[in-house]
């Protein structure tokens, strides 16, 4: 997967293992060991890529507790973290919690915003979310690999400029094709400037904990 992303032009690849109550909560030690093993293999293959460690945090009781304790697993140890919701419902009290996080100088990053059906017919909610969160569309969704509806809304978000960044969401080497097609779609429909903004400039800002529009 790292070789494939490197060949597509990626030089920084954020590893974001899922954190989900009751389903996938590996210990920090197990995560660190897997990260180290990956880095060792990357070094052995002499691939010049950086692989900062983060997490993809499901918006659930574990994340609530970590927010309370100020122990959210963020990108690169910064005050910025990746989150996801259950696809068919927005969490209760979401906007209040996001507001509280922003007041504490923490930037939430929303993974695959095109996946949440309650947002499809609610441009006002999308705009509100994008004001406080970084919106990162999935390249595989852009290329149509996750179905027509996700493709439609991912594309809409890129075309309207509300998407701040695009990411691979790579789970296996078979996803690489969708990533490559997604980048190509952006280049063709919006241009090289958009590729630069969505895959270089804005991701760099986000990793520093800065809102791309800020
Ligand atoms: Fe996800």
Question: How far, in Å, is the centroid of ligand 1 from the Cα of 152?
Answer: 18
pTM above 0.85, yes or no: yes
Question: How far, in Å, is the centroid of ligand 1 from the Cα of 111?
Answer: 6
Taking residue 165's Cβ as centre, other Cβ atoms within 10 Å add up to: 21
Residues by chain with Cβ below 5 Å of ion ligand 1: 84, 111
Measured CA to CA, the distance from residue 16 to residue 67 in angstroms comes to 18
pLDDT for the residue numbered 10:
98
Q: Please, what are the domains in the chain?
A: 55-207 (3.20.20.140)
Question: How far, in Å, is the centroid of ligand 1 from the Cα of 28?
Answer: 19
Question: How far, in Å, is the centroid of ligand 1 from the Cα of 137?
Answer: 11
pLDDT in tens, 79-92: 999 999 999 999 99
Query: Residue 138: what are its φ and ψ, rounded to 5°?
Result: -90, 125
pLDDT for the residue numbered 198:
98
């Amino acid at each position: 997967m790292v070789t494939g992303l490197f060949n597509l032009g990626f030089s920084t690849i954020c590893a974001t293992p899922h954190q989900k109550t009751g389903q996938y909560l590996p210990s920090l030690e197990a995560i660190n060991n897997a990260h180290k093993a990956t880095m060792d293999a990357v070094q052995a293959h002499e691939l010049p890529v950086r692989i900062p460690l983060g997490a993809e945090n499901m918006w659930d009781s574990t994340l609530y507790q970590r927010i309370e304790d100020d122990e959210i697993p963020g990108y690169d140890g910064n005050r910025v973290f990746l989150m996801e919701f259950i696809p068919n419902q927005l969490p209760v009290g979401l906007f209040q919690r996001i507001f509280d996080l922003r007041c504490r100088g923490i930037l939430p990053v929303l993974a695959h915003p095109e996946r949440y059906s309650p947002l499809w017919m609610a441009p006002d909610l999308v705009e509100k979310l994008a004001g406080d969160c970084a919106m990162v569309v999935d390249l595989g969704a852009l290329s149509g690999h996750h179905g027509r509806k996700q493709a439609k809304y991912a594309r809409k978000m890129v075309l309207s400029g509300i998407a701040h960044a695009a990411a691979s969401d790579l789970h296996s080497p078979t996803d690489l094709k969708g990533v490559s097609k997604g980048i190509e779609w952006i280049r063709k429909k919006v241009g090289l400037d958009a590729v630069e903004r969505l895959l270089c400039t804005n991701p760099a800002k986000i990793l520093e904990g800065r809102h791309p529009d800020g």
